[in-house]
């Protein structure tokens, strides 16, 4: 059986390096706007009874002139799922133990013409080991140019690894980032993927013999890194495109109502929120995705 601990450390190191580069890029945009806003980084430790090393993470939040509220979190946690929750987790039905590391980002913008955004990538080990994640654009006031550029960047990242990825993962994002009780999508989409397997299959002995877990990890890790690179390349360009756009009170009202929909999705349907709450994560880090202001009509 593969010891996934060194692989988890590699993924953690990448997620932390990506966080630092994203935060630097966002702070630079604040400087260009004449703001001295900076990220506040707060370490937190997870607690789990009987677990001497449950892990934790770092919550990074900036509130500025351009980024009304942006959170960039990295966490690495270890422990055991509660039995009922374990039955819902891939690979955890027979063993509740897990190890997870990931980066999660949500940006809510001051100007309603600048789209909000979400990005998350992660590596999980249960009885299986796999990567998941994605990125999606969430404009209160959509612009076709922004949508096309965002999707083009993610399409290029996907096509460099598998010609089927973009169609599969963009469709998955459309299905996942949907608010069924409202009958609307959360935004203009992006990609969403999960269970990019690094561990051998359970149900085929011949395939188990030939399956190269190291190669699978390297392949899926490379793709996950390219998703992060694509996000870092495209999103700051979109922000700069609209940061100086004038807006009206009606535009701001549209943004605040849209933020209410965003909050509804994250509190009712988002799997990442549920995972954090069910595994003893830091509440402030889990709920940093919520907007600073929102309205409901």
Q: Domain-by-domain residue ranges, the chain?
A: 5-289
d(CA 263, CA 72): 17
In this structure, what token pair is assigned to residue 289?
């995705």
Asked if CATH classification 3.40.1500.10 holds for the domain at 5-289, the reply, yes or no, is yes
Quote the pTM value: 0.94
| Cβ 62 vs Cβ 39: under 8 Å | yes
Instruction: List the catalytic residues.
Output: 118
Scored b (16 or more CB within 10 A) or e, 129-147 reads bbbbbbbbbbbbbebeebb
- Per residue in 217-245, pLDDT (tens digit) is 999 999 999 999 999 999 999 999 999 99
* pLDDT at residue 56 in the model: 96
* pLDDT at residue 206 in the model: 58
């Amino acid at each position: 059986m593969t010891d996934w601990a060194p692989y988890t450390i590699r993924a953690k190191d990448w997620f932390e390096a990506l966080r630092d580069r994203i935060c630097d890029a966002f702070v630079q945009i604040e400087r260009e706007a004449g703001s001295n806003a900076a990220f506040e980084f707060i370490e937190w430790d997870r607690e789990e009874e009987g677990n001497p090393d449950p892990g934790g993470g770092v919550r990074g939040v900036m509130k500025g002139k351009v980024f009304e509220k942006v959170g960039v979190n990295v966490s690495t946690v270890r422990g055991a799922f509660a039995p009922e929750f374990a039955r819902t987790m891939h690979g955890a039905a027979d063993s509740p133990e897990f190890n997870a590391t990931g980066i999660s980002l949500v940006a809510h913008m001051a100007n309603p013409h600048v789209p909000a955004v979400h990005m998350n990538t992660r590596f999980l080990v249960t009885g299986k080991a796999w990567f998941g994640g994605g990125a999606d654009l969430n404009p209160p006031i959509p612009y076709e140019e922004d949508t096309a550029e965002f999707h083009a960047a993610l399409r290029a990242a996907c096509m460099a690894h598998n010609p089927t990825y973009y169609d599969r993962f963009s469709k998955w994002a459309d299905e996942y980032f949907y608010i069924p009780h409202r009958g609307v999508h959360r935004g203009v989409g992006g990609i969403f993927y999960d269970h990019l397997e690094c561990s051998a299959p359970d149900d085929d002995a011949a395939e188990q013999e030939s399956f190269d877990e190291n190669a699978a990890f390297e392949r899926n890790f490379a793709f996950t890194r390219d998703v992060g690179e694509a996000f870092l390349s495209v999103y700051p360009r979109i922000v700069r495109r609209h940061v100086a756009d004038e807006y009206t009170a009606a535009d701001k009202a549209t943004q605040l109502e849209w933020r209410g929909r965003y909050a509804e999705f994250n509190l009712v349907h988002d799997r990442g929120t549920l995972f954090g709450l069910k595994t003893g994560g830091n509440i402030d880090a889990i709920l940093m995705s919520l907007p600073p202001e929102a309205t409901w009509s």
